[in-house]
Chain A
Amino acid sequence: MRWINWHLSKRDRLIAGGAPIVLLLVIYLVTAVQRHAANPSDKILPLPSGMAKAITDLLTTPDPLSGHLVFWADTLASLQRLGLGLGIATLFALVLGLLIGALPPVRAALSPLVTGIAVIPPIALLPILFIALGLGETSKIVLIAIGVAPVMVRDIAAHVGSLPREQIIKAETLGANSWQIIVRVALPQAMPRLIQAIRLALGPAWVFLISAEAVASDIGLGYRIFLVRRYLAMDVIIPYVAWIALLAILADLVLAATSRRMFPWAHEAAR
């Protein structure tokens, strides 16, 4: 059978998908055990027991300065920044995307500006944001928003702009004005695409969050990773990275499920 026709059963897909992950874990464990046999105080490849102990400390022992449980305080601070940044970007994407996509004069006026902002590497704006907005929460949230919003705006605008011309004409013959076409025809059809855009923006949003936290912060997942790096504390860094990955996967799953539940019509044709 040709490979392009070789579809796996659900069970085989689980095995096939799990195998590389298990393989990597095994390689890590074997290497770590070897290193620890040679040098019991090795810090580069910590054993699971070492990581468990380090994380238990962060989970249970309050920070002597602030009194917070460090792990949860970091998670909360990072998720708050991420949520606010993505939320602002989503709002911009929805409003600007709809207007640019549906209304030719708005497209003519704003499309070059959005394209211009989109080509600036957001990290290059970080110094400007720190100078203009200070080192607090605002600059970090704005970095995430500026980093992901232009791409999302353009995606939604392109999607709305590519709605079949026939649909718009049809709506006009049904007596709809521009506003009614935006809220009843363009907006509902942009929503599944918006969720898709958020899912794709989650990756870059984490990058900007960790970058901002690494440069100037006193709390957060990215801050912690870059802080303990100074002590080669891989037993904290690796669990933190795994936790970030888990949070990202969870957010993605929740968004995908939301889209299927709220917009069944958009997933109908794919079945």
Chain B
Amino acid sequence: MSALLSLRNVWVEYGEKVVLEKVNLEVSEGAFLSIIGPSGAGKSSLLRLILGQEAPTRGQVLLGGEPLEPQCGPDRGVVFQRYSVFPHMSVLGNVMFGLECPAAPIAARLFGSARRKAMGEAAAMLHAVGLGDSLNLYPAQMSGGMQQRLAIAQALIKRPRILLLDEPFGALDPGIRADMHGLITQLWRDYGLTIVMVTHDIKEAFTLGTRVLALDKRRHDPHAPHRYGATAVYDLPLRTAPAVVPPAPPQPDPNPLSAAAS
């Protein structure tokens, strides 16, 4: 399979402190890559690189063969552990925002038939993540699990080439977390996503991923703990499809616009 995302000899340094060193990584299309490692091993730095939030100090990050510019763009979706949704927009508004941005550069809003079309599309996506009944709620009225479902729907509406998950289920209780595992697996299959997930939970990494990457420091100088950075110490290909059998997806509402229009 072709490599969708490549990191070539990537280093990240903050002044004296070396966070990542000599990271080489090829992620093929359709992969579900889990990244694990101890705190401070550069998991989040790696994710920020792929996201474009930071540029590497040395080396190259390529997406589909093109070097990434150091800015976030709509070809990469992201779900953070918290603060991924906009508290001032309704659930439907949160998902529509991604459709409104490219279509209305000045007004940043859609009107009339374009708006109705975007509403329909957003409502359909919300049904797919199981939020079909909550279109008009504000995020503060929803549980943590529902907010993460919303954050996923918000990212997927842009049909990103890569979906980045930064400890997306870390703040959820175990039952909800299991539901979310089912959901993300289902979406990964249905939409043919390429996912890069950073997690603290080793079990989660192995259950969901088709490949697990462990970051850690190969070298350590006790007198200069920041002298050496972390790199990929294990890179384990697991399978081509996830082991989890996801639960049945939520049934879509036969008339997705009814709730939105009310």
Residues of A within 8 A of B (CB): 164, 166-167, 169-177, 179-180, 183-185, 188-189, 263-266, 268-269
Contact = CB atoms under 8 A, between A and B. Distances in A.
Contacts of B97: 171, 174, 176, 184
A180 B102 CA distance: 10
* CB-based closest 5 A-B pairs: A164-B83, A172-B72, A175-B74, A174-B98, A268-B140
Given A180-B101, A263-B88, A173 B138 contact: no
A167 B83 contact: yes
Contacts of B85: 170
A175 B158 contact: yes
B78 A170 contact: yes
Interface residues of B, number: 36
Given A164-B83, A188-B88, A179 B140 contact: no
27 contacts: A166-B80, A166-B82, A167-B83, A167-B86, A169-B53, A169-B80, A170-B86, A170-B151, A172-B72, A174-B98, A174-B101, A175-B73, A175-B98, A175-B101, A175-B102, A175-B158, A176-B108, A179-B106, A179-B108, A180-B108, A184-B100, A184-B108, A189-B86, A189-B88, A263-B88, A264-B138, A269-B140
A190 to B, nearest CB: 10
B77 interface: yes
B154 interface: yes
Given A164-B83, A166-B80, A188-B88, A176 B158 contact: no
Nearest to A268: B140
B174 interface: no
A174 B138 contact: no
A123 B133 CA distance: 57
A172 B83 contact: no
B155 interface: yes
Contacts of A169: 51, 53, 72, 78, 80
Contacts of A179: 105-106, 108
A185 B71 CA distance: 18
A247 to B, nearest CB: 31
Contacts of B160: 173
Contacts of B105: 177, 179-180
Contacts of B101: 171, 174-177, 180
A51 to B, nearest CB: 47
Contact of B87 (A171, A184, A189): A189
Q: Which of B88, B97, B139, B140 has the most CB of A within 10 A?
A: B88
Contacts of A264: 138
B141 interface: yes
Interface string B147-160: 00001001100101
A172 B155 contact: no
Interface string B49-89: 00101000000000000000001111011101011111111
B98 to A, nearest CB: 4
Contact of A265 (B78, B88, B98, B155): B88
Nearest to A263: B88
Nearest to B108: A180
Contacts of A176: 97, 101, 108
